Amino acid sequence: MTLLNGFATIRLSTNIFMVLIQRLLIIMVMMSLTRVFFYLYNIAYFPEVTLPSLIRLLWGGLRFDLTAVLYVNLPVILLMVLPLNIRFKPAYQRFTEVVFYVLNSFMLGANLADTVYYRFTLRRTTADVFRQFENETNLTQLFIRFMADYWYAVLVWVTLIALMVWWNRRYRIEGPQMQNRFLYYTLGVLSLPLIGYLFIGGVRGGFRHSTRPITISNAAAYVQQAAEVNVVLNTPFAVLRTIGKTKIARVNFYDEEELERIYSPVHHPPDTLTFRKYNVVIIILESFSREFIGALNKDKPGYSGFTPFLDSLIAHSLTFRYSLANGRKSIDALPSVLAGIPSMEVPYVLTPFSNNRIRALGTLLSERGYHTSFFHGAPNGSMGFDAFANMAGIKNYFGMTEYGNDKDFDGMWGIWDHKFLDFYAEKLGTFPQPFLSVFFSVSSHHPFIIPSEFEGRFKGGEQPILKCIEYTDYALRQFFYRIRRQPWFKETLFVITADHCSSNILFPESRTAWGAVSVPVIFYRPDNSLAGMRNEIAQQTDIMPSVLGYLGYNQPYLAFGRNVFSATATPFSFSYRDGYNYFEGEWLLHFDGRATGALYHFASDRMLNNDVKDEQFDRTRQMEAKIKAIIQQYNNRLLDNRLTPPM
C-alpha cells in the first residue's frame, strides 16, 4: 500500500513507523500467549474461571501488557523515531533489532519464569525479588537448576523467541522514503511530541487528566476472585510498578504472644449478637478538611465555617472531638474506610500486596444478603476506585459511563456533585434492601470550579476551594431533602467522612501532624438515636468495625480500627507523615521506625512546640509499644498475606 504525499511515495509496509508499530504488536501478541500459558499451567488455582471470564481476564491484561511493552521497549522506540539518517543504515538497523530481541526475550522470560514460580508465592513477582535474592551467592547454580527442572518453560520461551524473530524479519525498513530533506527533518521533529503523548498515555493507562498511572491494584477491575488478578497482570509490569515502592519490611519488635497482647487487628465480637439489617450509606467527601465545618470548630469564636447543611446534620449525629484520616491521598481513603486497612509509608494500593486476600465491608455484608454499590462521578477507572471497590466486595459500580450524560461533565474531574447526587438518590430508590452504598464526591478538587448556574450564590473566602466546599454542602442538602421521604431512609445508617484534608489553609494548627489529617467522621441515624460530640478520637479505619458493630455482626473480622459503639475499645489513631504518628487520648507520639522522636499533648499544645517525652516517660513507653505492635501487625500481615482472621 502506498501513500502519495506530493513529494514522494511512501510505502507503508516498509515505513519505519509502521515497522515500529508492527514490532510492538508482535510483543503484545507474545505477552498474551504467555498469559494463556500462565493460566493453563496454573489452572488448578483458578477453579472459578469460565471461558467468558477467561476472555475478560485476557482482555483486561492488554492494558497492563501495553504499559510493560512500552516501558521495556523505550530504547527501541527512541532508536527508531529520532529523525536521523543513520536509522536507515544496515548496521544501525541490525543493532536496533538486537536490542529489540534482547529486551523482549528478557520480558517474555520473566513472564514464563513466574508461570512456574507462581505456585510457590501465589502472586506475581514484584521488585522486592531483588532484595529477596540479594544475599544469595549461588544464583548461577540456581538459574541452571531452574532451567533444567522446568525445561518445558524454557522450550516455550525459545519457541516464542523464534516466532518473534521470524515475524519481525518479515518487515524490512526501506528509506528514507521522503526525499525532500527539509520536509523529512521538519516532520520528523514535529512528530516527536505526538509520539511522546501517545507513549505517556499508553504507560499511564489513559489520557484523561483524572487518570492516575495504572498500578497493580487496577487489575482487580477485571476479576471475580482476588487470585485472578495474577492472570490479568504480567511480571514485567508488576516489577516496574513496584520499583521504589517495596518498603514493607518484616519487623520483629515482639514475639507473637506479646504482640497479640499489646495489639491485634482481629476483632472477635460476641457470637450472641443479633444482626440488624439496616441499610448503610457511606459518603466520602473530596478534600473536606475538618476546619471547613463550623460545628466541629466551636472553640473558635465567631467562626461559622462553610458547611451550613453539615452543621445542621451534625446537631443530630454522633461526632468526635478529634476525627482523623489514616492517609493523605484519595487512594489511601478507600482501603481505610471500606476495609479497615491503612496506608503507612506507601499507599496500600501501590504496595506489591494490594491484591492480598481481604474481607472488606462489601464482602461481609454481601454474605448477609446486602446489595452493594459504589458511586463516583469521575470517568470510569479514575483513581482505580472501581478496582478497589471490586476487591472490597462491592458488586455494582456507577461512574461517568453509567451516568450517561457528558453534558454535566465539569471538564476536569467528573460529573458535577449536585447532578451526580441526584442520580445517586434516584438509584438508591431502586435497590433491594438491605443495601450498602458508597458515594465519593468529585467537585471540591482543584481547579475548584462550580457550575455557572451557581455563580454568585456562595460567599466563599480568600481560597478558591471554599466556594466549592459550600457548593458540595448545598448538593448534600438537596440530596438529603430528596431522600428523606424514601421508604428506606429511616432504616439507614449514614456515615460521612472525607478522603483527606485539603491544603489546610484556615488555621495554623491545620498544618501540624494532627491538623493535616483532621477530617470529619460522622454517624447519623434519621431517628436521632445517635447524637452528641464525644471527647475522644475516631479515625477512618474505625468506620468498618463501627458499622459492623452497629449492625450486630457477630463473626471475626480484621480491621486496624475500633468499634466506636463499644465501650471497651480504646480510642486511637495513626498515620504516616515523615514517620509514624500515633494518637491516643490527647497525646501524639512521633516514631521514626526505630525510636520515639517526640511526644506532644496536642490538645493543649496545638502547634506541637513542646516535646515532653522525657517528662512523660511511662506514657511514651506505653504509646511506643502500641505503635510498634501496629507496625509489626501491618507489615508482617501484608508480607504473609494474612489480612483476614484465621479460619
- pTM listed for this prediction: 0.84
Q: What pLDDT is attached to residue 308?
A: 97
**Res 56: pLDDT:** 94
Q: Can you give the pLDDT at residue 422?
A: 98
CB 405 within 8 A of CB 426: no
Quote the percentage of the chain above a pLDDT of 90. Answer: 66
Q: Which of 52-56, 113-117, 267-271 has the lowest mean pLDDT?
A: 113-117
What's the pLDDT at 178?
A: 53
pLDDT band at 382 (very low <50, low <70, confident <90, very high): confident
What is the CA 554 to chain-centroid distance, rounded? Answer: 29
Say what the pLDDT of residue 241 is: 85
Q: Give 491-509 pLDDT, tens digit per residue.
A: 999 999 999 998 656 888 8
Q: Report the share of the chain in percent with pLDDT over 70.
A: 92
Range with lowest mean pLDDT among 300-304, 478-482, 628-632: 300-304
More confident residue, 245 or 432: 432
- Compute the mean pLDDT over every residue in the chain, rounded to the nearest whole number: 90
Buried b (16+ CB within 10 A) or exposed e, 524-537: bbbeeebeeeeeeb
Residue 439, pLDDT above cutoff 70: yes
Decide: 548 and 557 in contact? Cβ < 8 Å.
yes
pLDDT surpassing 80 at residue 602: yes
Q: For residues 389 and 393, what is the distance between their CA atoms, to the nearest angstrom? A: 6
pLDDT at 638 over 70: yes
Count of positions (residues) in the chain: 647
For residue 208, which of 476, 352, 411 has the smallest C-alpha distance? 411
Region of 424 (left: φ > 0; alpha: ψ -120 to 50; beta: rest) is alpha
185: pLDDT confidence band, cut at 50, 70 and 90?
low
Instruction: Look at residue 536 and tell me whether its pLDDT is greater than 60.
Output: yes
More confident residue, 37 or 446: 37
Between residues 244 and 523, the one the model is more confident about: 523
| Least reliable range by pLDDT among 50-54, 106-110, 196-200 | 196-200
Model confidence at 213: pLDDT above 90 = no
- The highest-confidence range among 139-143, 408-412, 585-589, by mean pLDDT, is 585-589
pLDDT digits (tens, 9 = 90+) for 74-94: 999 999 888 877 878 889 989
Return the sign of the alpha-carbon dihedral for residues 153, 154, 155, 161. positive
Mean pLDDT value across residues 101-117 = 93
When pLDDT is averaged across residues 348-358 and rounded to a whole number, the result is 89
In sequence order, the 6+-apart residues with CB closer than 8 A to the CB of 328 are 500, 501, 516, 517, 575, 577
609, pLDDT greater than 50: yes
Cis peptide, bond prior to residue 176, ω within 30 of zero: yes
Q: Is the pLDDT of residue 133 over 70?
A: no
- Amino acid found at 647: M
pLDDT of 561 over the 70 cut: yes
Q: What is residue 643's DSSP assignment?
A: B
The structural domains of the chain, ordered by start, are: 2-242 (no CATH), 256-639 (3.40.720.10)
Handedness of CA 125, 126, 130, 133 (dihedral sign): negative
Q: Which grid coordinates are listed for 149?
A: 527442572
- The tens digit of pLDDT for each residue in 306-346 reads 999 999 999 999 999 999 999 988 889 999 999 999 998 88
Residues 366, 393: Cα–Cα separation, whole Å: 7
- The whole-number pLDDT of residue 493 equals 98
Rounded mean pLDDT, 445-463: 88
CA–CA separation, 609 vs 337, rounded Å?
Answer: 31
Q: What is the mean pLDDT of residues 569-589?
A: 94
Average of per-residue pLDDT across 136-158: 81
* pLDDT at 5 (0 to 100): 44
Query: Looking at residues 576-601, what average pLDDT do you find?
Result: 93
Q: Beta strand pairing status for 266-267 and 557-558?
A: antiparallel
What's the mean pLDDT in 550-560? 98
- DSSP letters for 480-532: HHHHTTSTTGGGEEEEEEESS--S--SSGGGGSTTGGGB--EEEE-TTS-S-E
Average pLDDT over residues 251-256: 96
Q: Binning pLDDT at 50, 70 and 90, where does residue 184 land?
A: low
Residue 262 above 80 pLDDT?
yes
CA distance linking residue 206 with residue 200, whole number of Å: 8
pLDDT band at residue 209 using 50, 70 and 90 as cut-offs? low
List of residues 6+ apart from 334 with CB closer than 8 A: 284, 349, 385, 388, 389, 392, 440
How many angstroms separate the Cα of 10 from the Cα of each of 18, 81, 184, 189? 11, 16, 12, 18
For residue 4, pLDDT over 60 is answered with no
Residue 9 has a pLDDT of 46
